[in-house]
Chains A and B, each alone.
Chain A
Amino acid sequence: MHCTRRVFLAGSCVLAAPFVHAQSLSTVRFALTPVFLDNDADVISALQSALSEGMGRDIDLVQRRTYQEITGALLDGSVDAAWTCGYPFLQHESELSLLGVPVWNGQPLYQSYLIAAADDPAQDLGGLRGGTHAFSDPDSNSGFLVTASDLAGLGESPETFFSRTIFTFGHRNVVRAVAGGLTRSGSVDGYVWEVLSKVEPELTVRSRIIARSEWLGFPPFVARADRSRDPVVEACTSALLGLSETQSGRAALALLFLDGVVRAVPSLFDGIAERMAILKGNP
């Protein structure tokens, strides 16, 4: 009888240990920008599960409307880590550190697409002069910086080149705006457009790629530089880098059409830095 009770108590302790451990650790707050696939609750849920499992603690995925809000939340400590864009990372390079970069089609790179309606006669950026244009976010590399820097190279600005520009705060929204005829053209993340062409082909079929940028550093996962040694941040880093090694992580990556997450160095984003320089007038 005593023996049985001891065994039960011991078993209970063993079984309860993970719960005690999880309850004792604070919840990780991870920020996502709706620039990515904001409409897919399954993707967000799968990512949350995978990261939570990888870190062994609860994770709170925080969504904000703009990169600016994400960066602000990251810098003021409201969130522990974030999936942002190379452009805001470079804007705050001194204050942020890279946790990892997603790998898409075997490389941590992507392109910016200049798109227009499927029946639009424009052949290049010059052919879109005077039309309306949809950007994703003023702090987005593919959704603003690439087109704006191309125009700067031509001695133009979006305000002078296009009749009207709008920000949709979502790459999918850029495709919607162009496909629906709200704007004549748009600047969109090439990775998002390609993924959409698989999951929502009825949307992308109404748009056409007019121009592709050079390959640029994929939007990275970042944290505040001064917290790079923080166990939470380190746990987050290892969870991200290990996504491809867990079942839930692979499921999340499959939904995101990504291969995995790898370590990265800032030089990956040199192309974006060059475009920033062009925009500032220092090519």
Chain B
Amino acid sequence: MSPAWFQNLPVTLRVPVVTATLMIVLGLVASQGVLTALRRVQDARLVETAQLHVEGLSVALGPFVLRQDVWEVYDILERAQAASGGQRLLQTVVADERGRVLAAGDPKRAPVGSEIGTYEAGAVGPEAVTMTGDPVLRVMSPLKYQGRDVGRIVTELDVTDLLAERRQASLWLLFGNAAATVVLTFAGWLAVARILRPVGTLVRAMDATEGVPRPIAEADIPRGDPGLARLITTYNRMTTAVEARAEAERRLAERERFVSLGRLSSSLAHEINNPLGGLLNAADTIVTYADRPEVVRESGNLMLRGLKHMRDVARAILDQNRMDRTGQPLMAVDFEDLRLLFEPEVASREQTLDWRIAAGDATLAALLATPVRQVTLNLLLNASEAAGIGGRVGLSVTNGADVLSISVEDTGNGLGPDHLARLLSSGPLPPGGGVGLRLAHDIVVGLNGQISHTRIDGATVIRVDLPAPVPS
């Protein structure tokens, strides 16, 4: 799994980063190979030097070690050291067969007669000498003369130059690889940036639009790259589809207002039909008893009440559907209109309605009437349907500090998962079902509000909190 920061990088940076990483890994592997080969060569040189040194000294020193001639041993060591220029051979200590030092190239470090054991610490045979990182390596070998061991020889080899050579090789490899990585990474970035320029255009087109994907102009489609051209063409088709979908949703939302009214139509028709019968009776009475003023007056009053009721219902329906009310502030009368529209629905199901509007006018006025009415009506219709025959439906509108809370309660069996998904989330809708709850959700989200759902004592409570900043 790549880290989050990497995933957040643009693809034009990610590819060079991956290239650089691969280059570094390749450089490390190659460098390791070179250094291993160098170490092998240096070890071979060391073994050769050590063996030549020890063998040469064995031949020269043999008779003098046998005679324990301190001076001759020292003289040979000093001359051998001078001949080597003192560059590789740092110190050679020669001891007799009992391990007592006969002479050393630097007698102050290895006095005559001292034990050679001190200098044998960490020493290896000339055939086994290898670079350990220590600038001084010790080689130990028995001194043979005429087929028998007559003493021992310990040589300190100065490998500072070899270590410096390796360090220099490492540095060159490091700088070389770093330079190659930087150059190739930059070249990779340039190439990838050029190759992915259309992708960048695509990303910008997707990002730099206010929620609406913008199609890419035909001229910007790279015809030379069939894959990318196909991708951008597909994207352009997708943007058209998104636009179409957004338009459909917008129309659906408009239609939903009519749908909710449609759902009320039968009860509303009943609401109009009932007074209409009374009105007809009153009119018939007036016609029949036109000469009786008290009857005419009473019938006239009856007609007046019926007509007023019909006028109120008609106004509420008109208010619910009038497009020119968009932008008007919410008022308490809007909830009265809703009650007028909703009560017949409650009555038709023999339900009990608890209606409590306790919000202050200032809070109400901070919100627009149309979306709040739509949300409230949708939730009430849903609650009435859920509560069933003889159920109970309640509306409570209260206000807090800069917030309007609308709670719709019903005694139904509760919302199913599909309904909850429609009401509480913005995810894709499962096929089938209405759009009322989703429309309510979308409107609330659009008003920066929140919807919560609780189930208390067998009742379902859907609460909508809308921010309503009251101007001070």
Listed in ascending order, the chain A residues whose CB lies under 8 Å from chain B are 132, 134, 163-164, 166-169, 173, 176-177, 180-183
* Residue of chain A at shortest CB distance from B74: A182
**Known contacts A180-B78, A182-B70, A182-B74: A163-B113 contact under CB 8 Å:** yes
A173 and B73 alpha carbons, distance in the complex (Å) = 13
Encode contact with A along B231-266: 1 for CB under 8 Å, 0 otherwise. Answer: 000000000000000000000000000000000000
* Residue of chain B at shortest CB distance from A182: B107
Interface of chain B residues 328 through 369 with chain A (CB within 8 A): none
* Minimum distance in angstroms from A125 CB to a CB of chain B: 20
A134 and B113 alpha carbons, distance in the complex (Å) = 14
User: Of B69, B75, B78, B112, which contacts A132 at CB under 8 A?
Assistant: B112
Q: Decide: A182 and B103 in contact? CB cutoff 8 A.
A: yes
Q: Decide: A167 and B78 in contact? CB cutoff 8 A.
A: no
Q: Is B172 an interface residue (CB 8 A)?
A: no
* Residue of chain B at shortest CB distance from A165: B70
* Residue of chain B at shortest CB distance from A132: B112
Q: Is B106 an interface residue (CB 8 A)?
A: yes
Q: Decide: B71 and A173 in contact? CB cutoff 8 A.
A: yes
Q: Among A132, A164, A166, which residue has the most Cβ atoms of chain B within 10 A?
A: A166
Q: Decide: A169 and B71 in contact? CB cutoff 8 A.
A: yes
A176 and B74 alpha carbons, distance in the complex (Å) = 10
Listed in ascending order, the chain B residues whose CB lies under 8 Å from chain A are 69-71, 74-75, 78, 103, 106-108, 111-113
- A residues near B103, Cβ cutoff 8 Å: 182
**Known contacts A181-B108, A182-B103: A168-B113 contact under CB 8 Å:** no
* Minimum distance in angstroms from B109 CB to a CB of chain A: 9
A173 and B71 alpha carbons, distance in the complex (Å) = 8
Task: In the A-B complex, list the 8 residue pairs whose CB atoms are closest, starting with the nearest.
Answer: A181-B108, A181-B107, A182-B107, A168-B71, A166-B70, A166-B71, A182-B74, A132-B112
A180 and B107 alpha carbons, distance in the complex (Å) = 7
A182 and B108 alpha carbons, distance in the complex (Å) = 7
**Known contacts A163-B113, A164-B113, A183-B112: A173-B106 contact under CB 8 Å:** no
User: Of B69, B74, B108, B111, which contacts A177 at CB under 8 A?
Assistant: B74
A173 and B112 alpha carbons, distance in the complex (Å) = 16
* Minimum distance in angstroms from B96 CB to a CB of chain A: 13
* Residue of chain A at shortest CB distance from B75: A173
Q: Decide: B112 and A164 in contact? CB cutoff 8 A.
A: yes
* Residue of chain B at shortest CB distance from A135: B71
A69 and B113 alpha carbons, distance in the complex (Å) = 29
A146 and B70 alpha carbons, distance in the complex (Å) = 22
A134 and B107 alpha carbons, distance in the complex (Å) = 14
A70 and B451 alpha carbons, distance in the complex (Å) = 124
A181 and B113 alpha carbons, distance in the complex (Å) = 13
Q: Decide: A180 and B74 in contact? CB cutoff 8 A.
A: yes
* Residue of chain A at shortest CB distance from B108: A181
A166 and B69 alpha carbons, distance in the complex (Å) = 8
- B residues near A166, Cβ cutoff 8 Å: 69-71
* Residue of chain A at shortest CB distance from B112: A132
Q: Among A132, A168, A173, A182, which residue has the most Cβ atoms of chain B within 10 A?
A: A182
- A residues near B108, Cβ cutoff 8 Å: 181
User: Of A177, A181, A183, which contacts B106 at CB under 8 A?
Assistant: A181
Q: Among B74, B107, B113, which residue has the most Cβ atoms of chain A within 10 A?
A: B74
A169 and B69 alpha carbons, distance in the complex (Å) = 12
A177 and B104 alpha carbons, distance in the complex (Å) = 11
A261 and B182 alpha carbons, distance in the complex (Å) = 82
A176 and B103 alpha carbons, distance in the complex (Å) = 13
* Minimum distance in angstroms from A90 CB to a CB of chain B: 26
- B residues near A134, Cβ cutoff 8 Å: 71
Q: Among A134, A167, A177, which residue has the most Cβ atoms of chain B within 10 A?
A: A177
* Residue of chain A at shortest CB distance from B103: A182
* Minimum distance in angstroms from B61 CB to a CB of chain A: 15
* Minimum distance in angstroms from A209 CB to a CB of chain B: 20
A275 and B70 alpha carbons, distance in the complex (Å) = 28
A207 and B103 alpha carbons, distance in the complex (Å) = 19
* Minimum distance in angstroms from A208 CB to a CB of chain B: 16
A13 and B103 alpha carbons, distance in the complex (Å) = 62
A169 and B78 alpha carbons, distance in the complex (Å) = 16
